[in-house]
Chain A
Amino acid sequence: MSYYADIGITILILMTLAVSLNLLLGYAGRVSMAHAIFFGIGGFTAARLTLPTKEELGGVATSGLQTGAGWSWVWALVVAIVVAFLAALLISLPAVRLVRGEYLILLTLAFQLVANQLMGVLKNVTGGPFGLSGIPSMTIGDKVLFLPEEVFWVFLVAAVVSIAICWGLGESPFGRLLKGLREHDTAVASVGKNPVVPELLAFSISAAIAGGVGALAAFYYGSVVPSNYTLTFSILIVSVVVLGGIGNLTGTVVGAIILGLLEPMLRKWFGDGAIPWQAVIYGAALVLMMRIRPQGLIPEGKGLIRRRRGRRPEAEVPTEAEALERLSHRDDGADTSAALGMPIVEVHDLQKSFGGLKAVNGATFTLEQGKVTALIGPNGAGKTTIFNMICGSIEADTGTVRLRGEDVTGEAPYKMARRGLARSFQDVRVCQRLSALDNVAMGVPDQPGERVSQLILRPLRTRRVEQEVRAKALDCLALLGIASQADVLVSDLSYGDQKLVAIARLLATGCDVLLLDEPTSGVDPASVEKVIAGIGRLRALGHTVCLVEHSVHFVQRLADRAVFLDQGTVIAEGTVDELMNRRELAELYFGT
């Protein structure tokens, strides 16, 4: 009995670690090679806190015995979780400086190696290469949990709680944000979300769970040894996640059971000499999975709960008129009609050089409230660069951008969106592996569900707000005429519809000023009509729209005003017809 319970505990430990890593790898798309270290940090912290004090050992500093703070295991567990969380936050600091992708692999690899080395060297803290032993078992009341079949239940509870946390976070608006960042961090920032903090949190929470299990494991085994927290173990955890399916927690559970059973089975049937086969099988499993079935045994989005996909029946979606009615009811109740035509964005003397190339050379113009302004001009006139400078994704060499009279030059894109100015991208940047509705919902500002603290402290409120968010997102889609596609994965939508999703996402931000970068490029004619209708609605709702567009036909139908740019400077402003009637401009535009 104890034998099987012990194997069960090993599997549960692996499962909990893998599930927590999947929060990072699956939802945020980032890989940590140091998960074993956080497991170890939890273990050592718990060991030092629960080991008996010198006084309890009789006041004699016997050389063979290791001492600690003599705490109860529950408090040690809590502190272990906190310490692992903080350690992860600390080492992910470089991510704040936008160190991304493979650098997190490198960073965590380095941390794994340096920390494992330190565990062996810092004898005063970790007890050196042989670690700490004599850690007291867990107790509940007077009952000492010592036998594997007793401790098993503790680990089972821990695994279930961890799965619940990771699943809850992953499927919440916070998880949606992580998935968005995984694909297009710039796009997520452009609708007003901090692009860094959610990833840091995912990393730290996953480390905190690892730390907690590490503490429990220390209580169970009674010792912590540096050689338990090696790179090989970190790799095993990654293997479990990959084998089970990145982003799928059910898969991770299955993967942990399969790989966790491997070692006892090898040992039982082939003897200790067969143990190296374990790592060979992990490695082969990784390679084969990525080659044959990169989505894992059970792919993302598949599992116990079936999600609705495909078109919604027309009866279940709001009509355009209903959506318009609801969306035109502004939250702040301000009446914008009085300000119509007043300058809202003032661009003054923007300049930008790339190397020797002067992309923008003293551009000055204004956007008027509630109007559609088109930036037109030949290729290379600097239109997109101006966009990038207005919304803060590149820094201007000189010049200022004012929004409602306030100097906002060089604000980060996500801060600009929070001030009420958001943009779309020429290459759409909608998240392919999310539904249209999820993409749009990501645009809605101030969602409590995107904050971990709120998810934990006020679960009911976050759930209620999420309903409102989804309703609003559906209205935004309805206004652009694609509400029936709300549950379709974006990757299954036509390019034209993807552009409409991107515009709906902008609409959901509630920003006054919307910058659209070539909303119709690469779009089929039928969808162009939808885009034109959609932008008309944005204007009807009182939004100020600025667009970069090549199609004169399109600009003539939509824009109230046009700003003509050439070689980085504004050479004319006025209505589209005025500009196009000026022969020299038409020649510049169409070429002669």
Chain B
Amino acid sequence: MDLNLLAQLTVSGVVVGSSYALLGVSFGIIYATTKIFHLAHAVSFAAAAYGAVWASSSLGLGFALALVVGLVVGLAFGVMIELVFYRPMRNKDATLLSIFLVSLGISVAFPNLLQLAFGPDNRTLERPGNPIYELGPVTITRVDVIGTVLIWLLIAAVTTFIVKTRFGRSITAMRTNPVMAEAVGIDSKRVFTVVFVIGSALVAVASLIQTSKGVATPNMGLQPTLIGFIAAFLGGIGSLWGAALGGLALGLLSSWSALWLQVDYGPVVVFGVMFLILLVRPQGLLGKAAV
């Protein structure tokens, strides 16, 4: 085996896996708490990227400010979907299936609205250069270094928030036993809103890191959302560190698969892994068996 290649694949696997980890945490915190299969997470992802592109190209804002605008736009879309669509349905005791179908509808319509507004072509964010560092046989770009560090800081911050603060513990209470949590006076609406704020902000960051080195396209959101779900699922729903590690493992695996398979097979490996896990261990790798 080519050790240099292995080292390079490992480094890119960590980079990709870190963004998968962030996607996993962002999807996992929403799904575990609200039980909504939030496919429209994809909308927040794309909205963040297009928000930044729009701020940069139409408003003429600088790179840093454009990222801030993107973050706000992505977050706003996520929270808006909860407030405008999901919450009224929950109030009317809609089933999770019908809420999922609404989420599906939103995630079908939105990319096409983006396409109508911005055109079907790839959009690039005006950005500073992205120098490449060489560490022996391995190369890595500046965006990847900053992005990866940022991701793990964010994940650590969110998990600390959940474990250490009073509000964070009320999220956990809501996740594990909603009826009891309401009974002791936890406001489910507030918890859900905060969860959507955190989840949407995290997915916006993931989107902006990707847009800082790649392009924005109308359909860019769906695949990351599904990867986020797979990561969250792999780690066991409800465990944020599980979701993060699930994402990392997924990234490494799809990167290493290039040792044996053509590059085209990367996504096949990712979804294939989930399929296998579903077959042999439906509760996820770190999850507990359902009672």
Contacts and interface: CB of A to CB of B under 8 A. Distances in A.
Interface in B207-234: 222-223, 226, 229-230, 233
Contact of A277 (B106, B112, B229, B265): B112
Nearest to B98: A290
Given A276-B112, A276-B116, A286 B278 contact: no
B230 A286 contact: no
Contact of B109 (A101, A102, A284, A290): A284
Interface stretch (B2-10, B70-78, B269-277): B269-277
Contact of B268 (A97, A118, A238, A277): A118
Interface in B223-279: 223, 226, 229-230, 233, 262, 264-265, 267-268, 271-272, 274-275, 278-279
A102 B37 contact: yes
A109 B226 contact: yes
Given A113-B267, A286-B108, A231 B222 contact: yes
Given A107-B275, A121-B262, A99 B112 contact: no
A238 B101 contact: yes
B235 to A, nearest CB: 14
A334 B104 CA distance: 57
Given A93-B279, A103-B282, A280-B113, A287 B271 contact: no
> How big is the B interface, by class?
35 or more
A283 B268 contact: no
Contact of B105 (A31, A94, A287): A287
B180 interface: no
A117 B254 CA distance: 14
A286 B105 contact: yes
A291 B103 CA distance: 11
Given A94-B282, A97-B282, A283 B275 contact: no
Pick the most buried of B104, B110, B274: most chain A CB atoms within 10 A of its CB. Answer: B104
B133 interface: no
A283 B112 contact: yes
A420 interface: no
A97 B97 CA distance: 21
Contact of A279 (B89, B108, B223, B230): B108
Interface in B107-132: 107-113, 115-116, 120
Contacts of B106: 283, 287
Nearest to B95: A294
A287 B96 CA distance: 14
A93 B37 CA distance: 22
Contacts of A22: none
A283 B278 contact: no
Contacts of A31: 97, 100-101
Interface in B180-204: none
B179 interface: no
A299 interface: no
Contacts of A416: none
Most buried by B among A105, A118, A235, A276: A276
Contacts of B108: 232, 235, 239, 279, 282-283, 286
A281 B112 CA distance: 10
Contacts of B104: 235, 238, 283, 286
B274 A110 contact: yes
A540 interface: no
B271 A110 contact: yes
B88 interface: yes
A290 B223 CA distance: 25
A235 B219 CA distance: 14
A240 to B, nearest CB: 12
A120 interface: yes
A519 B92 CA distance: 30
Contact of A280 (B94, B97, B116, B278): B116
Contacts of A110: 226, 230, 271, 274-275, 278
B112 A279 contact: yes
A285 B226 CA distance: 23
Interface size of A as a range: 35 or more
B233 A113 contact: no
A285 B268 contact: no
B285 interface: no
A114 interface: yes
A307 B102 CA distance: 30
B267 A283 contact: no
Contact of B100 (A102, A114, A239): A102
A106 B278 contact: yes
B9 to A, nearest CB: 19
A106 B94 CA distance: 20
Interface string A135-146: 000000000000
A93 B228 CA distance: 24
A495 interface: no
B22 to A, nearest CB: 20
B161 interface: no
B105 A284 contact: yes
Nearest to B237: A102
Contacts of B110: 283
Contacts of A103: 278, 282
A93 B115 CA distance: 38
A507 interface: no
A280 B88 CA distance: 22
A281 B116 CA distance: 13
Contacts of B85: 287, 291
Nearest to B264: A121
B102 A290 contact: yes
A231 B222 CA distance: 10
Given A110-B275, A282-B109, A283-B107, A290 B101 contact: yes
Contacts of B271: 110-111, 113-114, 117
Contact of A113 (B111, B226, B278): B226
**Considering residues A93, A231, A281, A294, which has the most beta carbons from chain B within 10 angstroms of its beta carbon?**
A294
B81 to A, nearest CB: 10
Best-buried of A31, A238, A287 by chain B (most CB within 10 Å) = A287
Given A105-B100, A284-B109, 7 more contacts: A94-B279, A113-B226, A120-B264, A282-B109, A285-B105, A286-B105, A290-B105
20 contacts: A103-B278, A107-B278, A110-B275, A111-B275, A113-B223, A114-B272, A114-B275, A277-B116, A280-B112, A280-B113, A282-B108, A282-B109, A283-B109, A283-B110, A283-B112, A285-B105, A286-B108, A287-B102, A290-B98, A291-B89
Please provide the 4 A-B residue pairs with the shortest distance between their CB atoms, ordered closest to farther.
A283-B109, A286-B105, A114-B271, A283-B108
Interface of A: 29, 31, 91, 93-94, 97-99, 101-103, 105-107, 109-111, 113-114, 117-118, 120-121, 231-232, 235, 238-239, 242, 276-287, 290-291, 294
